[in-house]
Structure 1
Amino acid sequence: MIERIWSGRSPLYLLLLPLSWLYGLVSTLIRLSYRYGWRASWRAPVPVVVVGNLTAGGNGKTPLVIWLVQQLQQQGYRVGVVSRGYGGKAEHYPLLVGPETTSEQAGDEPVLIYQRTAAAMSIAPQRVAAVQALLERHQVDIVITDDGLQHYALQRDFELVVIDGVRRFGNGWWLPAGPMRERASRLQQVDACVTNGGTAQPGEIAMQLLPQSAVNLLTGERRPVVELQRVVAMAGIGHPARFFTTLAQLAVNVEQQVPFADHQAYTLAQLSTLAGDEQVLLMTEKDAVKCRTFAQANWWYLPVDAQLPVAQGERLVQRIIALIK
């Protein structure tokens, strides 16, 4: 239902417009309060790059964060990452993410980023506190913040917005009548826009999410995903349809699709009934980080890597490196 409302296919958004106007008013006042110095913001001693979005829901932001961190690491830079840690319930904040940190503590996206990059990472609802804790414990050349475009208490040197190339901005209204956290005009003030799928508009950098080999959660075995038979596909991400569409494009033998809410917490009892002994339960990598401790032999996940056009990707990385030098 919410997809129909936000896409403009349902007129029910009209009932929510008063709440959207209130949301827009409050968010605008908050932003102006930092712009004009009515509220204090903090500047880190190292460059800060925000990777965020204007809309609610999954846009492919986390794969882009991983890509950017890896690009900088390959050139010898020490990269720190901060996140709100949405969905996690740590005993204290800030929380420094390490090999033993669970998704229950930190949330699924921070654990995924850490497992992929091994970058120094700190999470806290307040990004300033997360950055400060990170810098107290680690020597880093630059900080990447996963989300936080609207978290203006933290000053930033570079804003990178991820756009869903298929859904774009839906009906264009603020939450809850539409998907917008800020209006599309905000794009005129950011440093770069990356468009995930669909068709990139002039001035935007196209990004594709390329699936890799499927990985068995229990054994680590890798196998071409098309070799998996009798698949039950599940996805607890911001836009589950993207995962199911990817599998269809790869001609995977999917017998059932099971969508879950974003950041869904899973249990063995909940998932063990989805796929029979002769079937395969296939999930996203983001789901897999929450299931490894109770994984079954027929559970697999499909990792994806962000891919940007070589020339545009190199220019983007060089613009960010210029902040460090």
Structure 2
Amino acid sequence: MTGSQGAPRDHHPAWWYGDTPVPLHARLLAGLYGAVGALRRRLYRIGLLRRRHPGVPVVVVGNITAGGAGKTPLTIALVERLRAAGWNPGVASRGYGRDNTKRALWVEETTTPLEGGDEPTLIVRRTGVRLRADVHRVDAAQALAQAGCDIVVCDDGLQHYALHRDVEIEVIDARRRYGNGQLLPAGPLREMPERGRQCDFRVVNLGGPGMATLNGETGFGEWPMRLRAERALPMVGGRPRLLSDFAGQRVHAVAGIGDPERFFTMLRGFDIAVVPHAFPDHHRYTREDFEFGSRLPVLMTEKDAVKCAEFDSELFYSVPIDAELPEAFWVALLTRLSQTRTAYQHASP
């Protein structure tokens, strides 16, 4: 599936975030999905399915909706803030989209997105953190602890109940929130909203400059997160440019993320004339995807850029994103983790 010029396309059923009636088959499947999920959670709750712990504090970052909500920028910010506070974090990830998901591996800066997955590759190249990709999050967390990490950040792991966790952070997209409020495939929800309210922290992604503010508010107990973008990094030679340098210019904008419109709207906030090209989340690009018919600068998300470096075009730019949260959020989180570490130390023989 290729991107389209003009209005970007959503790569999810129309009824998830609109007024389109939900088909009967989707409602029936959602009932089955919900029943299976409820049974699985109950089995963990009563101990028939066992949770395992790596022996160091575990922070899970995730969401209860399908698709992107801003987990990767938050994970990067979390790794950097933990380091600044004296922790040695490691990241556990499934590595969605990699060629061989059955093989566990350490993702290095030289690991390709096909080997390690696009999001793990991006996280490692931005932070240099130890990252273990494994479909079994528990095994990944234990490998990180054995490698000397004193805290594990689990990227996208709210539904992976086999891994015991000390802190859960739910990430919510302010524009879409929970859509029509129904479970997959009738709606975008992996679990019902009540599950999100059980998390220790709830972070609402308000987007970046120029994002619509109609739903850009947080509710009680929710922390706002802004995504800041300032630069465009050339993917072949040249110097970084400020996004404001593209003001008044037409550019091709490429986004293969959960909500491509979020990226396009952010660029428009810099008065850039965006020609949008939306692709499915985790899309594998080919040269043909970039046959746009006009030689304009191509601005793309970092997550897409790690998969397009081989195309060697002087027109390509990567737009890095930084997550900004209130200082009070970091104080509350680090205080909670400090208490957790103390409890672990007292429990040690």
TM-score by length of 2: 0.88
SS at match of 1:6: coil
Residue in structure 2 matching 1:58, options 63, 68, 75: 68
- Asked if 2 retains the 8 angstrom alpha-carbon contact of 1:13 and 1:178, the reply is no
Match of 2:282 in 1: 263
Match of 1:162 in 2: 171
Match of 1:281 in 2: 298
Match of 1:298 in 2: 315
1:165, CA displacement in angstroms?
A: 1.1
SS at match of 1:189: coil
Whole-Å separation in 1 of the counterparts to 2:155 and 2:238? 27
Residue in structure 2 matching 1:227, options 238, 242, 245: 245
Residue in structure 1 matching 2:121, options 95, 100, 111: 111
- Asked if 1 retains the 8 angstrom alpha-carbon contact of 2:102 and 2:135, the reply is no
Match of 2:47 in 1: 37
1:133, CA displacement in angstroms?
A: 2.6
SS at match of 2:163: coil
Q: Does 1:69 align with 2:79?
A: yes
Whole-Å separation in 2 of the counterparts to 1:193 and 1:322? 20
Whole-Å separation in 2 of the counterparts to 1:275 and 1:199? 39
SS at match of 1:82: strand
Instruction: Could you tell me which runs of 5 or more consecutive residues in structure 2 were left unpaired when the two chains were aligned.
Output: 1-9, 207-215, 343-349
- Cα 1:19–1:217, aligned 2, differ >3 Å: closer, same or farther? same
Deviation per CA, 1:100-129: give whole Å up to 9, x if none. 111001111001111111111101111112
SS at match of 1:315: helix
Residue in structure 2 matching 1:150, options 154, 159, 174: 159
1:26, CA displacement in angstroms?
A: 0.7
Whole-Å separation in 2 of the counterparts to 1:54 and 1:83? 17
Letter in 2 for 1:183: M
Whole-Å separation in 2 of the counterparts to 1:268 and 1:282? 15
Residue in structure 1 matching 2:218, options 200, 205, 225: 200
Whole-Å separation in 2 of the counterparts to 1:154 and 1:13? 35
- Asked if 2 retains the 8 angstrom alpha-carbon contact of 1:280 and 1:299, the reply is yes
- Asked if 1 retains the 8 angstrom alpha-carbon contact of 2:101 and 2:135, the reply is no
Deviation per CA, 1:174-198: give whole Å up to 9, x if none. 0000000000011232111000011
Deviation per CA, 1:286-308: give whole Å up to 9, x if none. 10011112230000121111011
Match of 1:80 in 2: 90
Match of 2:340 in 1: 323
SS at match of 1:80: strand
- Asked if 2 retains the 8 angstrom alpha-carbon contact of 1:212 and 1:305, the reply is no
SS at match of 2:197: helix
1:230, CA displacement in angstroms?
A: 2.4
Percent of paired sites with the same residue = 45
Whole-Å separation in 2 of the counterparts to 1:114 and 1:98? 7
1:315, CA displacement in angstroms?
A: 2.0
Letter in 2 for 1:160: I
Residue in structure 2 matching 1:186, options 173, 195, 204: 195
1:47, CA displacement in angstroms?
A: 0.6
1:92, CA displacement in angstroms?
A: 5.6
Instruction: Could you tell me which runs of 5 or more consecutive residues in structure 1 were left unpaired when the two chains were aligned.
Output: none
Deviation per CA, 1:189-210: give whole Å up to 9, x if none. 2111000011110110011111
- Asked if 1 retains the 8 angstrom alpha-carbon contact of 2:56 and 2:145, the reply is no
Whole-Å separation in 1 of the counterparts to 2:292 and 2:94? 31
1:15, CA displacement in angstroms?
A: 4.2
Q: Does 1:6 align with 2:16?
A: yes
Whole-Å separation in 1 of the counterparts to 2:142 and 2:103? 11
- Cα 1:75–1:62, aligned 2, differ >3 Å: closer, same or farther? same
1:132, CA displacement in angstroms?
A: 2.4
Whole-Å separation in 2 of the counterparts to 1:26 and 1:183? 13
Aligned residues: 321
1:84, CA displacement in angstroms?
A: 0.7
- Cα 1:220–1:41, aligned 2, differ >3 Å: closer, same or farther? farther
1:12, CA displacement in angstroms?
A: 3.0
Letter in 1 for 2:253: A
- Asked if 2 retains the 8 angstrom alpha-carbon contact of 1:111 and 1:289, the reply is yes
Deviation per CA, 1:221-272: give whole Å up to 9, x if none. 2111132332011100001010111111221122x1110000001122332x
SS at match of 2:39: helix
1:32, CA displacement in angstroms?
A: 1.0
Match of 2:134 in 1: 124
Letter in 2 for 1:316: L
Letter in 1 for 2:175: V
Whole-Å separation in 2 of the counterparts to 1:25 and 1:91? 27
Letter in 2 for 1:234: V
Whole-Å separation in 2 of the counterparts to 1:267 and 1:112? 19
